[in-house]
Amino acid sequence: MEKVTLPGLAEKKRRGEKITMLTAYDLPLARLLDEAGVDLILVGDSLGMVALGYPSTVPVTMEEMLHHAKAVRRGVKRALLVGDMPFMSFNLSRKETVRNAGRFMKEAGCDAVKVEAGQGSPASLAAAAAIRAAGIPVLGHIGLTPQTAGLLGGFKVQGRSARQAKQFVAAALQLEKARCFGVVMECVPSELAALITRRLSIPTIGIGAGPACDGQVLVTQDLLGLGRAFKPRFARAFAHLDRTILKAIAQFRREVESGAFPSREEGFSMPPAELRKLRRGGVK
């Protein structure tokens, strides 16, 4: 399979071919996603809640994101790798914003970054534009943006009123104008996502945004049914790994306790002459 490129993603939209994106925080999963032919791999700041046990994505730091992005990079050969700008890594100043985006590229080897723009706050739109102007590919993110969920009234569907929907259309157009290569839309009504998808020349990637988007993204742990108590309506589980893993661990415990694991074949032995020498030396 050919390496995924930005022009290739734009071409997929033109041809009406769907785009796939999934999250990864470590090498083993990244390698599997890449092998399965997923177009984009996102080192999402969902890392904070899914893998680090934080109550929200707000505490996630640049250092944590880079640490995980580097591991993911080592497992990805074909997909486009996107690093998620964590809360307060952009918006403080233009210089700081561009420097942090640059760290994802230089230190972690990402191909692009994602910026949460919520309802299109001027500061976030300016951050996306500044990063792109510095020559770094940017993926915008509108709708329910977890870093600012408090301002949006919590983890709720966004853009249900005509007034708010208009704000999202404007934000998406602004991100396109800032030369973002795509826009993630999270938890917005399907009709609004379809309208924005028609209006934009760049691809839209939905999560809880209905089937009309140019692509779909999920948190990989959700699709695998792995370790998440909270399951949003859109997070279809394509597998139930929690059960499989629990069964395997319980079997390990039983077999250690009964002596069935490990077997002789799963161990190593000393050469007989060395064993004899050891015994002659008085060590029994």
The H or E element spanning position 112 is strand 112-118
9-28 mask for ligand KIV (x: CB under 6 A)? --------------x-----
Contacts of 127 (CB under 8 A, 6+ apart): 85, 90, 91, 94, 97, 115
Count of residues that bind ligand KIV according to CB under 6 A: 10
- Of 127-186, binders to ligand KIV (CB under 6 A) are 184
The number of residues making up the chain comes to: 284
Query: Where do runs of H (alpha helix) occur along 41-189?
Result: 47-50, 62-73, 94-106, 122-133, 162-177
- Cα of first residue to Cα of last residue in the chain, in angstroms, is 58
Give the span between the Cα atoms of 248 and 167, in whole angstroms: 49
| 44 contributes a contact to ligand KIV by CB under 6 A | yes
Write down the catalytic residue from 64, 116, 176, 186.
Answer: 186
Task: Give least dist CB 276 to ligand KIV, A.
Answer: 60
Smallest separation, CB 253 to ligand KIV (Å): 33
| Bond prior to 271 in cis (omega within 30° of 0) | no
Report, in Å, the least distance between residue 6 CB and ligand KIV: 18
For position 214 contacting ligand KIV by CB under 6 A, the verdict is no
What are 221's two structure tokens?
């742990």
Q: Is 222 in the site for ligand KIV (CB under 6 A)?
A: no
Q: Could you confirm whether 191 is annotated as catalytic?
A: no
Nearer to ligand KIV, 136 or 207 (CB): 207
Shorter beta-carbon distance to ligand KIV: residue 84 or 111 = 84
Q: Say whether residue 64 binds ligand KIV (CB under 6 A).
A: no
Distances in Å between the Cα of 156 and the Cα atoms of 57, 146, 151, 226, 236 are 16, 10, 11, 23, 18
CB of 128 to ligand KIV, least distance (A): 14
Q: Which residue is nearest to ligand KIV (CB)?
A: 44
Main-chain dihedrals φ then ψ at residue 243, nearest 5 degrees:
-65, -45
Give the residue numbers annotated as catalytic, written as ranges: 186
Site residues for ligand KIV per CB under 6 A: 23, 42, 44-46, 84, 184, 207, 217, 219
